[in-house]
Amino acid sequence: MALTGFPHPEEAAERPSRGTQAADPAGAARRICVGIVTGPQGVHGAMRIKSFTEVPEDVAGYGPLEDETGARQFDLRIHGAAKGVLIAHLPGVEDRDQAEALRGMRLYLRRAALPQTEPDEYYHADLIGLEAVLGDGTRVGRVRAIYDFGAGDTLELARDCAPPLLVPFTRAVVPTVAPAEGRLVLDPPPGLLDDGKP
């Protein structure tokens, strides 16, 4: 199993769709936060954008972006990069005050705009929020975050009345991932869940 960031937009046409993948009508309507406005840049309406895509410039490569409400759409125009952020313009933003007013605005993309993943490959956003259960249906927690500490991907599960749990994201420990069903199934090795219960 593998996790992926956001592939380069030009790769989308080259990636085969998963013919056996169940339709996910709820997922098609979901949005993913791909960037945030961190402040103005200069006096002519340019702004700094922190990109959350694997290749930062790809934040503008999948189509129109939306604000938090979904009411406004933007075609982001990137002009360069500086100190970990992109320098970009949004249509209608023509001076520093207008750019400053957008500080903190998150930029979203429709999940359906992203390319299909390969079998056993998942976007981080597809896993966040999934319920983690044991094979018998016992609830363990909910995926809250994903980390890579250098030895492979690790899921952080938020649990009720218990500390968060870190679970290796491997086929052996997570044999079933079903985003369309809102869950994943764990087969934890001895000791991972302490007493075997959440």
User: How does pLDDT run across 112-125, given as a tens digit for each residue?
Assistant: 888 888 887 888 88
Long-range contacts of 166-172 (CB under 8 A, 24+ apart): 167/132, 167/192, 169/1, 169/3, 170/1, 171/1, 171/120
CA atoms of 45 and 80, how far apart (whole Å): 14
pLDDT at 2 over 70: no
User: How does pLDDT run across 26-51, given as a tens digit for each residue?
Assistant: 443 478 888 999 999 999 999 999 99
Mean pLDDT across 166-178:
93
Mean pLDDT, the chain, rounded, equals 82
pLDDT the model gives residue 10: 37
- With cut-offs at 50, 70 and 90, classify the pLDDT of residue 75: very high
Instruction: For each of the domains in the chain, give its residue range(s) and CATH number, in order of start.
Output: 27-113 (2.40.30.60), 121-186 (2.30.30.240)
pLDDT the model gives residue 3: 55
What is the token pair recorded at 180?
């369309």
